[in-house]
Amino acid sequence: MATTLGQAFGSGSILVKADVAHWRAALRLGGDLLVNSGCTLPGYTEQMIQAVEELGPYIVIAPGLALAHARPSELVLKTGLSLVTLRQPVEFGNPQNDPVSLVFALSAVDHDSHIDVLQLFAGLVSDQKNVNSLLTGDSIEAIRLALG
């Protein structure tokens, strides 16, 4: 159980100021980070992309911010988060909240165990000051400081 949001971001789960041309590339990076930090198996990444292709860009949950995820399955090894910050924002096709510069990816082992992590996440992104720190952070250390 993560008591701080930063704890949900395992080692190797953060990438800063990446260059991507398309939202799929951003999700692939986010998925790679989840694999990197031991949270998921590679197949989970495609599931996150398929979710958006099937349901639309509902994952862009606030201006400039996306939270990618797929269902709990045996492709999830543990609950966790990853973050890719983008040098240039990309369009996901969400008219209310595009373009996106912060791409979070979430893995959950079941439908309950990540609730506390999501509450911490909600707390973080509800405050524009935190979001600004994530947008301007130019190193993993700066990002970790902002995540708490």
Whole-number minimum distance, CB 138 to another protein, in Å? 26
Classify 141 as helix, strand or coil. Answer: helix
114 lies in the site for another protein, by CB under 8 A: yes
Stretch touching another protein by CB under 8 A, among 17-25, 37-45, 83-91, 109-117: 109-117
Give 18's Cβ-side CA count (13 Å radius): 23
70 lies in the site for another protein, by CB under 8 A: yes
Return all residues near 54 (Cβ < 8 A) that are at least 6 apart. none
- Our answer to whether residue 69 is catalytic in this structure is yes
Whole-number minimum distance, CB 43 to another protein, in Å? 16
Decide if 14 contacts 144 (C-beta within 8 A): yes
The residue (of 11 and 96) whose beta carbon lies closer to another protein is 96
Stretch touching another protein by CB under 8 A, among 1-9, 17-25, 110-118, 138-146: 110-118
Applying CB under 8 A, among 30, 35, 69, 100 the residue interacting with another protein is: 69
Measured between alpha carbons, how far is residue 8 from residues 4, 91, 97, 142 in Å? 7, 27, 25, 16
- Report the site for another protein in 29-68 (rule: CB under 8 A): 51, 55-59, 61-62, 67-68
d(CA 114, CA 1): 8
Decide if 26 contacts 90 (C-beta within 8 A): yes
11 lies in the site for another protein, by CB under 8 A: no
Q: E-strand spans in the chain?
A: 14-18, 60-62, 65-69, 80-90, 100-107
Chain residues that interact with another protein, rule: CB under 8 A: 51, 55-59, 61-62, 67-72, 94, 96-97, 106, 108, 111, 114-115, 118-119, 121-122, 125-126
